[in-house]
Amino acid sequence: MFIMLYLSLIMILISVILMMISFIISKKSLMDREKCSPFECGFDPKCLARIPFSLHFFLITMVFLIFDVEIVLILPIIPSFFMVNFFIWYKISFFFIIMLLIGLYHEWNQNMLNWIN
């Protein structure tokens, strides 16, 4: 038990020492103005490189990804129809579809599906 503790402490100590050595001898400067600025063919940038990102677009993307995962989860239900008991298949499929509809209703109720607010 103590051997595992000693070995883990030695590994952590070696990792910390290597990280400190690499930080000390690295030539990278955190405040290098030229490396932090955007590159536009050697000229100064004409506009701000970071434009504001619409949070609503991000939320629509998340809804799209959730529905993609739901489709991937629904597809195996169809071929399994002939392999399992019909009553069990019906209960599981019905429960899964009801959960998806509850999620869709919640998104609709929160106005997530409207692009313009």
Q: What is the pLDDT of residue 17?
A: 96
Kindly state the helix (H) or strand (E) to which residue 27 belongs, with its residue range: none
Q: Yes or no: say if 30 and 85 are a contact pair by the CB < 8 Å rule.
A: no
Alpha-carbon span 115 to 42, nearest angstrom: 39
Instruction: Note the pLDDT tens digit of each residue in 51-98.
Output: 777 777 777 788 788 888 888 888 888 888 888 888 988 898 899 889
Sorted by where each begins, the domain ranges of the chain are 2-36, 55-109
For tokens 């809804």, name the residue.
63
pLDDT tens-digit readout, 4-57 = 889 999 999 999 999 999 888 877 666 666 666 666 566 666 666 667 777 777
